[in-house]
C-alpha cells in the first residue's frame, strides 16, 4: 500500500519532504544583579527560537491572549502573543483605566473604560511592546510578539525547556526587561540541546519614569494613586 502510494506521488510529481528529528532545548537563565542579590522576577524572562522555517501562522494557540488589570497592576506583567495576534485588557478594578502604547512597532490607545469592560488590540509586528495606563503611572506591561512557535517563559528557578524543536540552526533570544537581550546562534541536533546557561546583566539597570500617552510627565495626582 505504501509502495503504491509512493508510485502515485511520483507519477504526479509530488516528492514527500523528509521528516526532521525533533528535540528539546533546555537550560538555565540567570540575571546578574547589583550587589549580587537574588533575582525575584525570573518568570518575566522569555526564551524563543527563530529561523529554519518555523514561522508561526494564524490559528495557533498564541493568536489571542489576555492581560487583566487588577490591583492597579497588569497581570501578567509580561505576555506572549503571535505577531498579528491580539491581546485583551479586561478591567477588573473598581475604577477606570486607559491602556496605551506609543511603541514604534504599533502604537495604540484603548481609551478610558470602566470596571467589567474589556478592550483588545492587535500587535502587528514581532518585537517587544511597552504598554502603560494613562491614569496610573506605575502600571507597566510588556507584550512579546513572536513569529515562532518555539517560545517559553522561564521558570521561577531559572530553568527553561522548549520541546519539539526540529533539527536545524536557530537564533535564540533571551529577553528580560532589566537587561540587554541575549541573541546567539544555536545548532540543534535530533535529540536537542541541553545544559545551556545564559547570563543576563542587570547590574546597570535603573528604573526611569515614562511619559503619558501625550508624551508629557504624569501629573502628581495620577502618579500617586497607589
For 223, phi then psi, to 5°, come to -65, -25
Chain CA centroid to CA 47, Å: 8
Q: Round to whole Å and give the CA distance between 128 and 2.
A: 47
Cis peptide before 76 (omega within 30 of 0): yes
Query: What is the enclosing helix (H) or strand (E) of 220?
Result: helix 220-223
Residue 92 has pLDDT above 60, yes or no: yes
β-sheet bridge partners, residue 75? 68
Rg value, the chain, Cα: 21
pLDDT band at 21 (very low <50, low <70, confident <90, very high): confident
**Residue spans per domain, the chain:** 19-54+150-205, 56-147
Mean pLDDT, range 58-72, rounded to an integer: 91
pTM (2 decimals)? 0.87
Predicted confidence at residue 88, as pLDDT, reads 98
- Average model confidence (pLDDT) for the chain? 88
Q: In this prediction, what percent of the chain has a pLDDT beyond 90? A: 80
Topology (CATH level 3) of domain 56-147: Immunoglobulin-like (2.60.40)
Residue 18 has pLDDT above 90, yes or no: no
> Exposed, middle or buried by CB within 10 Å (0-12, 13-18, 19+), for 96?
middle
19-54+150-205 sits in which CATH class?
Answer: mainly beta
Amino acid at each position: 500500500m505504501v509502495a503504491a502510494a509512493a508510485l502515485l506521488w511520483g507519477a504526479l510529481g509530488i516528492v514527500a519532504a523528509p521528516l526532521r528529528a525533533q528535540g528539546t532545548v533546555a537550560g538555565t537563565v540567570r540575571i546578574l544583579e547589583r550587589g549580587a542579590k537574588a533575582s525575584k522576577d525570573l518568570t518575566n524572562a522569555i526564551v524563543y527560537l527563530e529561523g529554519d522555517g518555523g514561522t508561526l501562522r494564524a490559528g495557533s494557540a498564541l493568536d489571542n491572549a489576555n492581560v487583566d488589570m487588577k490591583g492597579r497592576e497588569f497581570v501578567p506583567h509580561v505576555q506572549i502573543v503571535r505577531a498579528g495576534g491580539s491581546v485583551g485588557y479586561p478591567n477588573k478594578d473598581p475604577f477606570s483605566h486607559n491602556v496605551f502604547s506609543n511603541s514604534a512597532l504599533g502604537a495604540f490607545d484603548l481609551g478610558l473604560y470602566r470596571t467589567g469592560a474589556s478592550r483588545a488590540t492587535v500587535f502587528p509586528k514581532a518585537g517587544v511592546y511597552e504598554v502603560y495606563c494613562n491614569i496610573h503611572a506605575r502600571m507597566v506591561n510588556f507584550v512579546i510578539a513572536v513569529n515562532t512557535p518555539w517560545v517559553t517563559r522561564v521558570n521561577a528557578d531559572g530553568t527553561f525547556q522548549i520541546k519539539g524543536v526540529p533539527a536545524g540552526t536557530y537564533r535564540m533570544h533571551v529577553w528580560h526587561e532589566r537587561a540587554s537581550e541575549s541573541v546567539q546562534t544555536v545548532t540543534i541536533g535530533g535529540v536537542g540541546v541541553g545544559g545551556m546557561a545564559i547570563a543576563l546583566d542587570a547590574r546597570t539597570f535603573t528604573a526611569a519614569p515614562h511619559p503619558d500617552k501625550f508624551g508629557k510627565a504624569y501629573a502628581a495626582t495620577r502618579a500617586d494613586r497607589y
